[in-house]
Amino acid sequence: MAILQTNEMMFTAFEPKLQNRFLMEIEGIPAYLIKKIDRPSISFGEVVLDHINVKRKIKGKANWDNISCDLYDPVTPSGAQAVMEWVRLSHESVTGRDGYSDFYKKDLHIHTLGPVGDVVEEWILKGAYCQSAGFGDMDWTSDAPVNISMTIVMDYAILNY
């Protein structure tokens, strides 16, 4: 039986990462409009190998899950216009023309900030594009700001540090 060392039993002070300390960079969309973003998550498929009367399981293909993103929609610069510029790179509503993936796929960056504004974590979302965009609700009974919601799809993510 292992014996715990004193330094393993005692509390060690640490600085937690806070949810409100982040910046996200999407080319063409000002970072201050991005109100909320999911951090990347990954799941793996399962491959079952049958052998007589037992099953052996191994890891299958990796799948990076979609990310939800909420943005403010100010009067100027228009958040809706910025999002639609990205959407138009993949599909133009007026003509029905679709774009090449080189045009609409981007590398996005999520920076987690420390208490003094230093970058303590960086995610790079490779080959990301806007799968869906919702431009919010209008309501005469509410004084809440208009939100834009996006679903972002990516090929894979890299955690640099």
Q: What is the pLDDT along the chain (161 residues), one digit of tens a residue?
A: 778 787 777 777 889 999 999 999 999 999 999 999 999 999 999 999 999 999 999 999 999 999 999 999 999 999 999 999 999 999 999 999 999 999 999 999 999 999 999 999 999 999 999 999 999 999 999 999 999 999 999 999 999 99
Nearest CA among 99, 96, 97 for reference residue 130: 99
Cα–Cα dist 23/156, whole Å: 19
91-96: long-range contacts, CB 8 A cutoff, minimum separation 24: none
Structure tokens, 68: 């939800």
User: What pTM value is reported for the model?
Assistant: 0.87
